[in-house]
Chain A
Amino acid sequence: MWEFIVGHLNYWLFCVLMMTGLYIVVARGNLVKKIVGLNIFQTAVFMLYISMGKIAGGTAPIFPTDMNVDPNVVYSNPLPHVLILTAIVVGIATTSLGLALVVRIREEYDTIEEEDILHIERDIVTAENQSHGGAMGGRA
């Protein structure tokens, strides 16, 4: 039992980080904090991938320069690490685009709190209903 818990420590941490990130995205009203949550959520996945590449007793997958590979040496699997390099790039692009959008939202709405934004948008919709909703009896 103890073996099971400690042996899968990386995976437990993956679960905790993933749910923390997802919770922040859902529960926080501040747009920047949401992006931070999203970042934690994505980072958790990096951890999942890197953990699965590790082989017990395995060393870094670098062959000696003379290419005399000792068959007794166990190497970790490098493929998940390479995949995660790509995913990190995707994560950076998403974060920077998200933050750029937040900057633009602040320019237009003068706030980055979700609640205030929803309030402003509700006012816009009410105004639209009054000016365009004639056919639907003033509401739509």
Chain B
Amino acid sequence: MATSEIQHTALTLHDQLPILQVAIPLLAAPLCVLVGQRHAAWWIAFISSFAAFVISCLLLVQVTDGSYISYEIGGWAPPLGIEYRVDALNAFMLFLVSGIATLILPFASASIGQEVPERNHTLLYSCFLLCLTGLLGVLITGDAFNVFVFLEISSLSTYVLVAQGAYRDKRALTAAYDYLIMGTIGATFFVIGLGFLYMATGTLNMADIAARIAEQGDNRTVRAAFAFILVGMGLKVAIYPLHHWLPNAYTFAPSAITAFLAATATKVAIYVWLRFMFGVFRPDFLFDVYTLQFIILPFGLIAMFAASFVAIFQRDFKRMLAYSSIAQIGYMLLGIGLISATGLTATISHLFNHGITKAALFMGVGALVFYSGSSFYDRLEGRGRTMPWTSAAIVIGGLSLIGVPGTAGFVSKWVLVQAAFEKGWWPIAALIVASSLLAVIYVWRVIETLYLTAPAEGAARREAPLPMLIPLWIAALSCIYFGFDGVFVVDIARTAAEGLLTSPTPLPLLEGN
């Protein structure tokens, strides 16, 4: 390893990309408040999100071959210093999160004007940027405690963002409060788990922890750490029995915020799961394998069916989509539970594909709500005729949610079915298809409401404003694009999955530890 002096002279702006990825939105957030003018704040938020997106693209092209970039904060070499480590998995997630943030902001500029009073806009953009910072930080860091800190940055700002829905419906406040209680319990469990890991290994660098656990093997402290991290992050992921906070938070948050959270927050939590279960604990740690196969996999299956059933009986479009999110998380858990490269490929590509699908659908709801004022089905009747562009985009999103061939949702479900067959577990493949049929029912209810009922009397043709329609259609078209050209997503997902399953090069161990 080169000494820090040599590295300092060799650094160019290009080498600083990993830190800029997090620093730009972090510095832009207080700037929004200082400027204090809502249009300027929007521009700051948009430009910094776009900059983060460009950086994530630059990082992604460097690591698609399976290599990784290691960045030492302040020139302190890991494992003592904090390391930012970018590999195919988190570069791909950074791409998703910053891309969605850039896409949502133009949408937000139109939609929150109706949903949140103007005096709050500057602060809302500032919180949005903090949330983005937290999510990007969780993804990029290679230090376990850093994950906790960034997780709390994103969670705390998320609670504020959800509570902003209170100007439409006061239940947003209790939803945010519930989320705060659950989220904090989850994060605290996570930090207890990290404490046990530190006790067992004496280090906080994830690659270093992995190497030391592999060295000392299984013991009770490591098992306790695993259990706390599993449950703690499980609360943030909203795995089936721990999902209580999700439907209310998604239903009552402002539309743009729901679209952003649904597409990114739970996905980032699943990323942390993947990183800890495969990157830190390694699958040769048997406790890990048993837990994934006998606890996570069944919960995934239950989520796929139970949440889909509940979704069918909703009368509110937005709440229906929230339950469908829980069901879709079930597919991702299933991919994790299969513990194979193909299973993980399915999980990672579903993270991405479901992210853009849900972003499209929640933006669609936001556009409908813009005129109808609420997302109950009876208020949306006949919108297919009065808002044809919005409705068409919702139909595309809905098809992708079901997994119709030619849409993004199909590609990842197909890989998931392949993974099940690879293991010879054909009943699981049958269950995947069966639960997709439930998705047909709840998506059909939406299509029926939009197209097969008469619009309310005197309803004129009134399309949503362009700042909402353009991001909505970009998301909808990318659902189709990634459906026809699934190779891009699946290739990166496979590189990422293989990166998770092969052990990383261990860092040189420090003496005296």
Chain A CB within 8 A of B299 CB? no
Pair B149/A86 contact, Cβ less than 8 Å: yes
State whether B173 touches A94 (Cβ < 8 A): no
Q: Is the CB–CB distance between B185 and A22 below 8 Å?
A: yes
What is the size category of the interface that chain B forms with chain A? Answer: 35 or more
B-side contacts of A80, CB under 8 Å? 195, 198
Residues 70 to 92 of chain B near chain A (Cβ within 8 Å): none
Do the beta carbons of B315 and A94 come within 8 Å of each other?
no
- Interface residue A6 (Cβ < 8 Å from any Cβ of B): no
Cβ of A25: which chain B residues have Cβ within 8 Å of it?
A: 181, 185
Instruction: Find out whether the CB atom of B152 lies under 8 angstroms from the CB atom of A97.
Output: no
Residues of A within 8 A of B145 (CB): 83, 86
Task: List the A side residues contacting B152 at CB < 8 Å.
Answer: 90, 93-94
- Is chain A's binding surface mostly helix, strand, loop or mixed? helix
When distances are taken between beta carbons in the complex, the residues of chain A under 8 Å from B187 are 90
Given A98-B177, A101-B180, A108-B173, are A135 and B378 also a contact pair (CB < 8 Å)?
Answer: yes
Max chain A Cβ within 10 angstroms of own Cβ: one of B166, B188, B199, B379: B188
Tell me if B376 and A128 are in contact (CB < 8 A).
Answer: yes
Within the complex, what minimum Cβ distance (angstroms) separates B177 from chain A?
Answer: 5
Given A87-B191, A94-B180, A104-B163 in contact, is the A132-B198 Cβ separation under 8 Å?
no
A contact residues around B156 at 8 Å (CB):
90, 93-94, 97
A102 CB-CB contact with B under 8 Å: yes
- Interface residue from B159, B192, B204 paired with A97 (Cβ < 8 Å): B159
Check: B171 CB closer than 8 A to any chain A CB: yes
**Measured CA separation A77–B148 after assembly (Å):** 20
B160 at the interface (CB under 8 A from A): yes
Interface string of B349-384 (1 = CB under 8 A from A): 000000000000000000000000010111100000
A contact residues, range: 35 or more
Check: A73 CB closer than 8 A to any chain B CB.
no
Contacts of B159 in A (CB 8 A): 97, 101
A48 contacts chain B at the CB level, 8 A cutoff: yes
Query: Closest B-chain residue to A104, C-beta based?
Result: B173
- Is A78 an interface residue when CB atoms closer than 8 A count as contact? no
Nearest A residue to B182 by beta-carbon distance? A25
Q: Which of A97, A109, A132, A136 contacts B180 (CB 8 A)?
A: A97
Residue A76, interface by CB 8 Å: no
In the complex, what distance in Å separates the CA atom of A97 from the CA atom of B185? 15
Q: What residues of A have a CB within 8 angstroms of the CB of B316 in the complex?
A: 132, 140
- Chain B residues whose CB sits within 8 angstroms of the CB of A94 once the complex forms: 152, 156, 180, 184
Contact A101 B192 (CB under 8 A): no
Confirm or deny: B313 has a beta carbon within 8 angstroms of a beta carbon on chain A. Answer: yes
Closest-CB distance, A38 to chain B (whole angstroms): 6
Known: A25-B185, A48-B192, A97-B160. A117 touches B174 (CB 8 A): yes
Residues on A with C-beta less than 8 A from B188 are 41-42, 45
Q: In the complex, which residues of chain B have a beta carbon less than 8 angstroms from the beta carbon of A31? A: 177
**In the complex the two chains form, is A132's CB within 8 Å of B166's CB?**
no
Task: Decide if A105 is an interface residue (CB 8 Å cutoff).
Answer: yes
Cα separation A83 to B173 with both chains bound (whole Å): 31
Interchain CB contact (< 8 A) of B195 among A48, A93, A140? A48
Out of A93, A101, A133, which one reaches B163, CB within 8 Å?
A: A101
Assess the A133–B149 pair: CB atoms within 8 A: no
Q: Is B461 positioned at the interface, with any CB of A under 8 Å from its CB?
A: no
Distance A101 CA – B170 CA, assembled complex (angstroms): 11
**Interface: B176 (CB within 8 A):** yes
Q: Would you call B314 an interface residue if the criterion is a C-beta within 8 Å of the partner chain's C-beta atoms?
A: yes
Asked if A74 is at the interface of the complex by the 8 Å CB criterion, the answer is no
Q: List 19 A-B contacts (CB under 8 A).
A: A38-B181, A41-B185, A52-B198, A52-B199, A86-B145, A90-B148, A90-B152, A90-B156, A94-B180, A101-B159, A101-B177, A105-B174, A105-B177, A108-B166, A109-B170, A109-B174, A124-B171, A132-B379, A135-B378
